[in-house]
Amino acid sequence: MRRGSIKNRILDYWAGVPLLNALATFRRRRQRPASIRRVGVMCSPALGDTLLVSGAFRDVRRHYGNAVEIVHFCMKTNLAAAELLHAPDRRVVIGLTDPLGTISLMRAEKLDLLLDFSSWQRLTAFYSMMSGARFTVGFSTAGQHRGCGYDLQVEHRDDRHEVDNFRALLAGMKIRTGLPPKLFLPPGAPSLGCFADASDIIVLHLWASGQRSWLREWPEDRWIELAQTLAKPNTVFAITGAPSDLPRIEPFCTRMTAAGLVAYPFLGTDGFRSLAHLLLRARVVVSVNTGVMHLAAILGVPTVSINGPNRNGRWGPVGPRAIGVEAPGEGCGYLHLGFNFDGHATDCMERITVPMVAQAVADAVAQAVAIPEAT
């Protein structure tokens, strides 16, 4: 299922809801197994969600120990993030739009327990039901009609951070929670190209992904004004993005150069590996609310998230040196599942001023100086 596709989401709802309810009618909820040797975990295909769930995966590992094999069912869309999770023993790449292949792969694992951390997709709930696992746990999310097929339903709520929703799902299984998200970087330093010898790097991530992504983007003129405020004589700005963002990144770099700044594109070609090493060298990362922001925050890099439709208490950055800037006034911070834009304010990002973000940068950098041991 392509993330941000309205067509796929509508199909997922109108086909998935009756299918799940029909199947659940003939299914009896089971008791959790007394002995668990193989645990499957699955989450949303979004990169940010995958990074945030790393803490819950660590909780699962701590609870069951090394005697249990943990299998992560991921998708191509979130593979770059999945490669940085070190709690699972193995990854199995499934295709959300390949029901026969996905069900076959999942059933072959002969799972004792399947934990589904996705929150709204009916398709992942369907795969959980058809996985062959002896016991399944997943979210019951208001308005999504997806929880009927799990052996254990856990309420997914919009008044707490997604990390706390993940912990609530584990708490339903009497699993102790509380480990923060943490990532593993494979050994070896990749080439950083023109940034390899830079002594002062600031990373800017301007573009979001998913449905109506433009409503989560900050005006370019303000990015340039912010960069002028933060720049030192030796500062090099890394403008990050997906390969599909290059047609926008290159003209923006040209604008930065015209403003007297040094800026180059950075497109990682090896998933998140090179990008993670770049972020770790940055003085600060300023980003819209997206996967790159979560990556930087979890890595412990001084990070500022420009939120707008998102709010800190629901989707804000999680990390020791991370600060989220929220839009002032009423009507913003409304996003719950990533697509509930209808009927809400469309000017949230425009309400956030350059001085607001500049102050957050100063505070994040000051936190980094105050707690240099955090990594």
- What is the residue whose two structure tokens read 């589904």? 116
Beta-bridge partner residues of 41: 72, 115
Judgement on whether residues 236 and 295 belong to the same structural domain of the protein: yes
Judgement on whether residues 167 and 200 belong to the same structural domain of the protein: no
How many structural domains comprise the chain?
Answer: 2
Judgement on whether residues 205 and 340 belong to the same structural domain of the protein: yes
CB burial readout 170-185, b (16+ within 10 A) else e: bebbebebebebbbeb
Judgement on whether residues 307 and 197 belong to the same structural domain of the protein: yes
Burial class (CB in 10 A: 0-12, 13-18, 19+), 223: buried
CB burial readout 74-99, b (16+ within 10 A) else e: bbebbbbbbbbbebbeeebebebeee
Judgement on whether residues 127 and 225 belong to the same structural domain of the protein: no
For residues 42 and 128, the answer to whether their CB atoms sit within 8 Å is: yes
The answer to whether residue 182 is domain-embedded is no
What CATH number does residue 115 fall under? 3.40.50.2000
* Exposure on the CB side of residue 220, measured as CA atoms within 13 A: 13
pLDDT per residue of the chain (375 residues) written in tens, 0 to 9? 444 555 555 555 545 556 666 665 666 778 899 899 999 999 999 999 999 999 999 999 999 999 999 999 999 999 999 999 989 999 999 998 899 999 999 999 999 999 999 998 888 999 999 999 999 999 999 887 788 889 999 999 999 999 999 999 999 999 999 999 999 998 877 889 899 999 999 999 999 987 788 899 999 999 999 999 999 999 999 999 988 889 999 999 999 999 999 999 999 778 899 999 999 999 999 999 999 999 999 999 999 999 999 999 999 999 999 999 999 999 999 999 877 888 899 999 999 999 999 999 999 999 877 654 443
Backbone dihedral angles phi then psi of residue 40, each to the nearest 5 degrees:
-100, 140
Q: Tell me which residue range forms the domain holding 155.
A: 23-171
